[in-house]
Amino acid sequence: MSEALRLAREYNIAVRFVHLGDWNDGELRAEYDATIPVIRINQRIVEALPGAERDRFVALAIGHELYHHRERLGEIPTLPKRAEREAAADAYALKILDESRPALAER
């Protein structure tokens, strides 16, 4: 199990694969809904990716949205600008992915 998925379970956040609709020129990869809480990952993207790339995408998507969950809980300070928050969420996701690598290598 990836570190990101383990953390989502620890925080009692459901992870769902769903079609997230069309977003004009952009593509919504994942979203966090604090009311449930749930992380929804774009199933269309997941279905288009090969194995290892798919696993990496899912881990990064979960890690990114976990950052926003931790912001909401007050575990991480909320940065003033959206671009800063999104960059910090990406960095957090990469950190979680790096922490998962020893476990993935053992498979």
The three-state (H, E, C) secondary structure of 59-106, written as one string: HHHHHHHHHHHHHHHCCCCCCCCHHHHHHHHHHHHHHHHHHHHHHHHC
Please determine, for residue 61, whether its predicted confidence score (pLDDT) is greater than 70. yes
Q: Rounded distance, CA 20 to CA 65, Å?
A: 15
Q: Rounded distance, CA 17 to CA 55, Å?
A: 13
Cis before 80 (ω within 30): no
- Average pLDDT for 10-37: 88
**Count of C-beta atoms within a 10 Å radius of residue 82:** 8
Q: What percent of the chain has pLDDT over 90?
A: 78
Q: What is this structure's pTM?
A: 0.88
CB-side neighbour CA atoms (13 Å) of 15: 21
- Average pLDDT for 98-106: 60
Please determine, for residue 8, whether its predicted confidence score (pLDDT) is greater than 90. yes
